Amino acid sequence: MALLVINSDTCKRDGICTAVCPTGIVRLESPESVPTVAAEDEAFCIQCGHCVSVCPHGALAHAVLKPEECLPLQKELLSDPAGVEQFLRSRRSIRAYKQEPVDRDILSAVLRLASHAPSGHNLQPVRWLVIHDSAHVQRLAAMVIDWMRHLIAEKAPMATMMHMDRVVAAWEDDWDRICRSAPHVIVAHAEKDNPTAPAACTLALSYLELAAGPHGLGACWAGYFNAAATFWPPLQSALNLPEGHTNFGAMMIGYPKFKYQRMPPRHAPIIDWR
């Protein structure tokens, strides 16, 4: 079966699919012909779905991306710029959580949205580890504290730079500054040698954080946790990621204890116009 099947009755030969194809394999040979993909070019398709999604006439079918999987855009649900501004500016790092688990179904829905983040070459390399058991989260947080104690004893510059003495003192005072007593932690991991993985994991986690809010959830980057997972063998063993994978980011998630009423300012962008 050909990669693209074009309905020659509805295709308007407008060249839009040709213009948006990221690898330039959708060709319009003449103004009268319908677009085609040469057999030898099919392997260059990155299955991004742009050709199917952009066609205003629904004239294209892709062999891999089934039409029913390319959902129609519901424009009436899209926010105006003011709504988008509120949405983006009201996102907050949440550091106080209800001690209430989040259903796996809800976390799965949020992760499904996170999978729509961009990835280099559309490789979609991100895999997820969800620590759903809150007692397990606390055991892992204790390992991060062990790592910090180790670095403090070694007088490692990272310990000073990250104020680890204060984080450990807080832990000993029953205040969890590692996972903020969140019920769940989500780790984004991927093949360590995949050059697209760091950006893909970061972007997917950002999508995850943004997608959490409308579900009534809050999230926060778990930077200490991720650093320990990168450097501390006992935590690496406990996470037991697939062979060849490494963590590229982690996030705590749960129901926020408090609601924010205002949106704090941030630095104005520093722009060098050329």
Q: For binding to ligand FMN (CB under 6 A), which residues are involved?
A: 92-93, 95, 220-224
Instruction: Give the nearest distance from C-beta 221 to ligand FMN in angstroms.
Output: 3
Q: Would you say 219 and 94 are in contact if contact means Cβ atoms under 8 Å apart? A: yes
Task: Rank residues 37 and 207 by Cβ distance to ligand FMN and give the closer one.
Answer: 207
Instruction: Give the nearest distance from C-beta 14 to ligand FMN in angstroms.
Output: 42
Question: Alpha-carbon torsion 107, 110, 112, 118, what sign?
Answer: negative
Instruction: Give the nearest distance from C-beta 128 to ligand FMN in angstroms.
Output: 17
Both tokens assigned to 16: 């839009």
Give the DSSP H/E element, type plus range, for residue 175.
Answer: none
Phi, psi at 190, each rounded to 5°: -160, 175
Instruction: Give the nearest distance from C-beta 200 to ligand FMN in angstroms.
Output: 15
Q: What DSSP designation does 70 have?
A: S
Task: Rank residues 170 and 238 by Cβ distance to ligand FMN and give the closer one.
Answer: 170
Both tokens assigned to 48: 């991004």
What residue type is assigned to position 10 of the chain?
T
Task: Rank residues 7 and 93 by Cβ distance to ligand FMN and give the closer one.
Answer: 93
Instruction: Give the nearest distance from C-beta 199 to ligand FMN in angstroms.
Output: 13
Instruction: Give the nearest distance from C-beta 1 to ligand FMN in angstroms.
Output: 44
Task: Rank residues 65 and 167 by Cβ distance to ligand FMN and give the closer one.
Answer: 167
- The set of residues, in sequence order, having a beta carbon less than 8 Å from that of 180 and lying 6+ positions away, is 94, 95, 96, 97, 220, 252
Task: Rank residues 50 and 180 by Cβ distance to ligand FMN and give the closer one.
Answer: 180
Residue of 191, 65, 187, 186 whose CA lies nearest to 125: 191
Task: Rank residues 16 and 134 by Cβ distance to ligand FMN and give the closer one.
Answer: 134
Nearest to ligand FMN by Cβ — which residue?
Answer: 223
* DSSP string covering 30-63: STTSPPB--GGGGGG-----HHHHH-TT--EEES
